[in-house]
């Protein structure tokens, strides 16, 4: 009887003790301020913004200009951009990540690049159209996304 009373007292004391709080589940990290500034700069290249900037010569040049205006050096070729920074899973992309796409034919050959702008959109340069804002979930782009690269950590 005495053992069971001690066991019951111990159990009651253990239950009454404050329980540790569970660790918070990390959510998506907010982009650093520099990343937000790069996206803001890239938006200024949209034709409707008329910021007076020179039109880029190709998608890599567009990214090179947007990053370099903010003091971040990135390669000026799509092939080199496809290896820049660190690879990011497509489920973890955040604003200012570089998106690498295949061309007209779906393949693993890097032929196009864009800048993730947030909320499922990205900015990229298209010859004949200039810089445009597109939805990343459009089937055309979704099928051609090869990799995402983060150069601002």
126 strand-pairing partners: 130
What's the predicted TM-score (pTM) here?
A: 0.80
Residues 56/131, Cβ–Cβ less than 8 Å = yes
Residues 125/61, Cβ–Cβ less than 8 Å = yes
Domains belonging to the chain, first-starting first, are 52-153 (3.90.1720.10)
Residues 108/146, Cβ–Cβ less than 8 Å = yes
Per-residue pLDDT of 93-138, as tens digits, reads: 999 999 999 998 888 899 999 999 999 999 999 999 999 999 999 9
Spatial distance between the Cα atoms of 103 and 113, rounded to a whole number of angstroms: 10
Spatial distance between the Cα atoms of 26 and 36, rounded to a whole number of angstroms: 21
Spatial distance between the Cα atoms of 109 and 60, rounded to a whole number of angstroms: 15
Per-residue pLDDT of 33-88, as tens digits, reads: 999 999 999 999 999 987 788 899 999 999 999 999 999 999 999 999 999 999 99
């Amino acid at each position: 009887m005495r053992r069971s009373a001690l066991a019951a007292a111990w159990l009651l004391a253990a239950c009454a003790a404050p329980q540790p709080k569970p660790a918070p589940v990390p959510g998506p990290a907010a982009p650093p301020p520099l990343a937000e500034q790069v996206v803001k700069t890239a938006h200024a290249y949209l034709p409707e913004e008329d910021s007076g900037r020179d039109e880029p010569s190709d998608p890599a040049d567009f990214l090179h200009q947007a990053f370099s205006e903010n003091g971040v050096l990135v390669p000026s070729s799509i092939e080199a951009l496809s290896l820049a920074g660190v690879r990011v899973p497509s489920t973890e992309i955040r604003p200012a990540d570089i998106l690498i796409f295949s061309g007209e034919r779906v393949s693993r050959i890097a032929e196009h690049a864009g800048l993730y702008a947030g909320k499922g959109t990205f900015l990229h340069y298209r010859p004949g159209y200039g810089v445009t804002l597109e939805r990343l979930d459009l089937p055309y782009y979704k099928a051609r996304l090869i990799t995402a690269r983060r150069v601002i950590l």
